[in-house]
Amino acid sequence: MNPSMVRLSAAPRILYVAVLALFSMSGAQAQTPSQNEQAKTAPVAQLGIIRATSDATSTEPTIGFQSTVSRAASRADMDWIETPHSVSSLTRDRIDAIGATTGTDALRYTPGAFTGLVGGASRYDYISLRGFNENSTDNLNLDGQKVLSDSGTYSSVQIDPFTLERIDVYRGPTSVLYGRNSPGGLVSYSSKRPLDEPYHEITAGIGNHGQTHLGFDMTGPIDKEGNAAYRLVGITRNDKTQYDNNRVERYLLAPSLKFKLGENSRLLLQGYFQKDPSTGFHSGFPADATINTDHNGRRISPEFSDDDEGGKFSRTLSMMGYQFEHDFTPNLTLKNSFRLTSLKSDMAQFYGYGWYDENSLNRYYSGGYEELEAYQFDTSLTGVFQTGGASHEVIGGFDYQHRNVTGRWDSGVANPLNAFDPVYGNPGLAITYSEPFDRTLEQFGLYLQDTVRYGRLTGLFSIRHDVVDIDNRNPLLNTKSGYKGNKTTFRAGLSYAFDNGISPYFSYSQSFNPNGYTDVNNQVLPPTEAEQYEVGVKYQPTENVMLSAAYYDLKQENVAARHSSATSYYDPLGVVRSRGIELEANANVTDNFTVTASYTMNNMKLEKGDNAGKRPFQAPKQMASLWGRYGFNNGLALSAGVRYVGKSWADNENTVEVPAYTLLDLGAEYDLGRVNSNLKGATVRLNVNNVTDKTYVASCATTNYCYYGEKRNIKATFSYKW
């Protein structure tokens, strides 16, 4: 055990958190900046004007489809043009316009982000950034704190996008911000917060796959003095999905309260309570009957499910926390945040693996239950000062993360299922093995960041030291494995903003991620380590036009890969190198017309190991997208988008290729207030994804697991805002 690693018992940990919270709030006195009321009154069919004032923040509502401020690459708001990293921002208006019902949906038009890891399935938000798909459910940040999912189990948090104000994507290693992380990047969610002015919204919708939803969003002041405000967001969703014997069901409530505690302090209380009785389909099928028709000239239907009657996966999530700020002086601020997470999952799922005969798939069973309990806190001081001609914004602090997942996993076999003419209702389940597990992760981090501005030159410099303890136990066999160690990561970036709107930049960054995966001997694999060099240029001739180009060279060591889909252990692949180009354009061409375009070229290779020189599976070499929206003066707005995903491989041996595919999306929105003034604030929207109903394989994770993409999906939404 490393001398710097100290494992805290439960009681001292909780006591320490309580004392820290009391200390932080003891000097509470403050004022919260007022929110932008225009966010709720902008005409639906017109593009809002960008909120680009000097006091704009990334936590306030943003009008329209652009944001020039983000904190994804930093722990503080930073102008996009001066940020020496690749960052994309998705506003609330854009999330609504594309009809996103999951976080994966929202990122379909984002460069460097591949959202087809499990095709049309929606149980988890799998998002691969710059070709790295391991731990993809663990690369999520919510309101400045890491979401404590466990990618080594089924316990992964899924946040409903209806509760979000925006989504930011930071591409590249991010360990200097929040510790362990996959090198591809980080998806950062920002919750809807209480507003100082009343705002109300109700929404309802239906779809061609049996989708229905009903939601509300209410916010406003509590007292006349404006010292307190509330927000209550809720939604229910039901979806029969495109797959047999599967449905999605959700019930969600997200309350929050904001307080001004005197002249210099602010407190935000947040809750998130979600029940998912059913989470839908989650499986894949052999390549020879999906990608092509080599299997007796037949292809499995994209509506087929290898699950059976009685199969289920349910999930219950609750999160509670606070964010507190106190200004000692106008240039010195204390920030403290805390979140408690509880996630319970029950599963009983049948799944196919390989052929039993010419028509039927072998079927296995995975069942059991999991309980995740986690808590975390983050405390920092932010100081702003001058040294000579340079200004500094220095952030220093520490955070702590604790996550424990316990439960039982059951394994078994079931009757084969005809993949071309399935008959459900007789699974013939036989449980062959059952084992309990107990997985604990602790991480303590110290961090320091300095944002230096000297004229038009901006420097972003960060250092962080993490101490990590992973303990995986099998109480039945009395065996354990784990990892104890520490890691220091660095980041440095420079950008220069010319008068003509051009801003070239260069950055270097590092990441690490302790493996939750074990090898054939049940030993945890060594942590992955990565470093990246990135050079790029951003161009913002006006606040309505944002163009960027980036080249990156990213190398990671000790990448883990499942030995095969029929085993539970992993192998270290050695070194993976990802080099590529990302282009992005986001422009309000006129007040009525907005365009978003992206192109990604990712040259990813395995540089060591058995498959050296090969390309990892589920890593398309090229992706491109174009989306535009035009708002007519009569209250109508039309949108259209095209998404291209290039060829990828179905396995690390590169024996089977997944064909490229191109998808078309269309949308229309109408302001009913233009028909009748009594309907002011009411809108209807239609979104059609995969308009041509193209049958395609989104990707494969080995040749036995290929994932069909989403069929044509038509959704109609009504909303009323006042």
Q: Which range has highest mean pLDDT (18-27, 57-66, 239-248, 624-633)?
A: 624-633
State percent of the chain over pLDDT 70. 90
Query: Which pLDDT tens digit goes with each residue over 357-405?
Result: 999 999 999 999 999 999 999 999 999 999 999 999 999 999 999 999 9
| Strands, E assignment, 632-712 | 636-645, 648-649, 657-658, 661-671, 682-689, 697-700, 706-708
Query: Is residue 19 predicted with pLDDT exceeding 90?
Result: no
* Residues sharing a CB contact under 8 Å with residue 19, sequence separation 6 or more, in sequence order: none
The CA distance from 184 to 490, in Å, is 16
Residue 127 has pLDDT above 80, yes or no: yes
- Going by their DSSP bridges, the two strands 661-671 and 113-114 should be labelled as unpaired
pLDDT digits (tens, 9 = 90+) for 603-643: 999 987 778 899 999 999 999 999 999 999 999 999 999 99
Residue range 530-550: mean pLDDT, rounded: 96
Least confident of 129-143, 355-369, 689-703: 129-143
Confidence of residue 562 (pLDDT cuts 50, 70, 90): low
pLDDT (average), residues 325-330: 97
Q: What is the mean pLDDT of residues 27-41?
A: 35
d(CA 315, CA 344): 6
Decide if pLDDT at 171 tops 80. Answer: yes
703-to-121, 135, 335, 363, 647 alpha-carbon distances in Å: 18, 21, 49, 16, 15
Of the listed ranges 45-49, 171-175, 556-560, the least confidently predicted one is 45-49
What domains can you pick out in the chain, each with its CATH number?
10-721 (2.40.170.20)
**Antiparallel, parallel or unpaired: β 185-191 and 140-142:** parallel
DSSP 129-189: ETTB-TTGGG-EEETTEE----TTSS------GGGEEEEEEEES--HHHHSS--TTEEEEE
pLDDT at position 482: 85
Question: 186 pairs with which residues across the strands?
Answer: 170
- Residue 8: pLDDT above 80? no
Give the per-residue pLDDT at 563.
62
Question: Is the separation of the CB atoms in 405 and 439 below 8 Å?
Answer: yes
Nearest to 561 by CA among 690, 467, 702: 702
Query: With a threshold of 0.75, does the pTM exceed it?
Result: yes
